[in-house]
Amino acid sequence: MPKPREGERKIENSGRPFMCTLHHPSWILGPMVYGICFCPLSKLSNLEALKVADSKTLSEAERERLFGKLDQARSFVGWALDILSPNLISTSMQRRAKYNLNSLSHDTAMALVQLALDQGVRVTQVFVDTVGPADKYQQKLQERFPEIEVTVRPKADSLFPVVSAASICAKVARDHVVKKWKFLEDLGNLKMDYGSGYPNDPKTKEWLSQCLDPVFGFPQFVRFSWSTAQLILDGRAVPVRWEDSEEEAGGPPAAGRGSGTPSLLSYFARTQAPTERQSHRFFHERGLETVADL
């Protein structure tokens, strides 16, 4: 988690601080950024005077301008972020013991509240944008922080200025990360015009189709667990079944054993006859070489 600067941590704690958390889970491209913003209740009018608003209603230039104002108001406003990579999100959602998006969101938000407490902020009120049913999320937060007054509301970033401020910090940070994203994969001459990154954006969908590798899937910039990505994989990628214990459990035959679907291992098997086929870029990029003996 990126640490806030000293000026952002050591804010005025003499009053009753006002604090919030929020999230941005909608995009299919790039990281998910969680933000927290807090200030004393005695300074709430100062925060409102900055005229912060829900980041989704603002242009990029307006968000940058308001972020600059928040940065200049460090004497009474503090903020911190937690940036979750697309790869972390997808692997968490698809591992054998699933760690679903709601649980991931809740745990990250609670960690940010705990960070504020650990930095000496006397938190008495928390305002949170909901993830899942608001009443259940509020109960979960209240049980974790029984001494804090918790309010969970849908669209909290448009209802409470402090949540609006946190949404601006999170969105500005995400914009910067996405613009400077370094692709580990060699995408050749593929244009990096991927639109807004929202699943229903036609430009984003088109880019996803173009960057798909039929065997290795998407670059790590993509949250491959999202349904939009899954549909493209199901329709255009090579069908592969993992060889596991399905047969022993009475399931369908494993790949390559009468199922009609090639085994994943068949893509890596060493043939007896020499081949002229060039290795896939996946292996070159990671410094992998074929070995004769194990």
Residue spans per domain, the chain: 16-180, 186-238
d(C-alpha 214, C-alpha 210), whole Å: 11
Q: Give dist(CA 114, CA 281) in Å, integer.
A: 43
Say how far apart CA 51 and CA 58 lie, in whole Å: 12
CB atoms within 10 A of CB 16: 15
Residue 168 tokens, joined = 């601006």
**Token pair for residue 105?**
């969101």
The C-alpha atoms of residue 280 and residue 272 are separated, in whole angstroms, by 19
User: Residue 125: what are its φ and ψ, rounded to 5°?
Assistant: -135, 140
Phi-psi region of 188 (alpha: psi -120 to 50; beta: other; left: phi over 0): left
Six token digits for residue 83: 């940036």
The answer to whether the CB of 204 falls within 8 A of the CB of 198 is yes
In one-letter notation, the amino acid at residue 198 is Y
- Contacts of residue 131, defined as CB under 8 A and 6 or more positions apart, other chains included, come to 23, 25, 101, 102, 105, 106, 109, 137
Output the pLDDT for position 208: 92
Closest by CA to 28, choosing from 155, 209, 282, 214, is 209
Instruction: Say what the pLDDT of residue 14 is.
Output: 39
Give the CATH H-level superfamily of domain 16-180.
Ribonuclease H-like superfamily/Ribonuclease H (3.30.420.10)
Q: What is the pLDDT of residue 15?
A: 44
Task: Please tell me the distance from the alpha carbon of residue 214 to that of residue 228, in angstroms, as a whole number.
Answer: 16
The CATH fold assigned to 186-238 is Arc Repressor Mutant, subunit A (1.10.10)
pLDDT tens sequence for the chain (294 residues): 333 333 333 333 434 455 556 545 568 899 999 999 988 888 889 999 999 988 888 899 999 999 999 999 988 898 999 999 998 998 898 887 888 889 999 999 999 999 999 988 889 899 999 988 999 999 999 999 999 999 999 988 888 999 999 999 999 999 999 888 989 888 888 888 888 888 888 999 899 999 999 988 999 999 988 888 889 988 889 887 766 545 545 555 544 445 566 666 666 666 565 555 677 777 777 777 777 665
pLDDT for the residue numbered 6:
34
* Residue 5: predicted pLDDT: 37
For the four alpha carbons of 68, 73, 74 and 77, in that order, the dihedral sign comes to negative
Amino acid identity of residue 92, one-letter, is S
Q: What is the pTM of this model?
A: 0.74
Give Cα separations from 157 to 1, 24, 37, 147 (angstroms). 22, 11, 11, 23
One-letter amino acid for residue 28 of the chain: I
The angle at the Cα of 109, spanning 218 to 18, to the nearest 5 degrees, equals: 140
pLDDT value, residue 285? 73
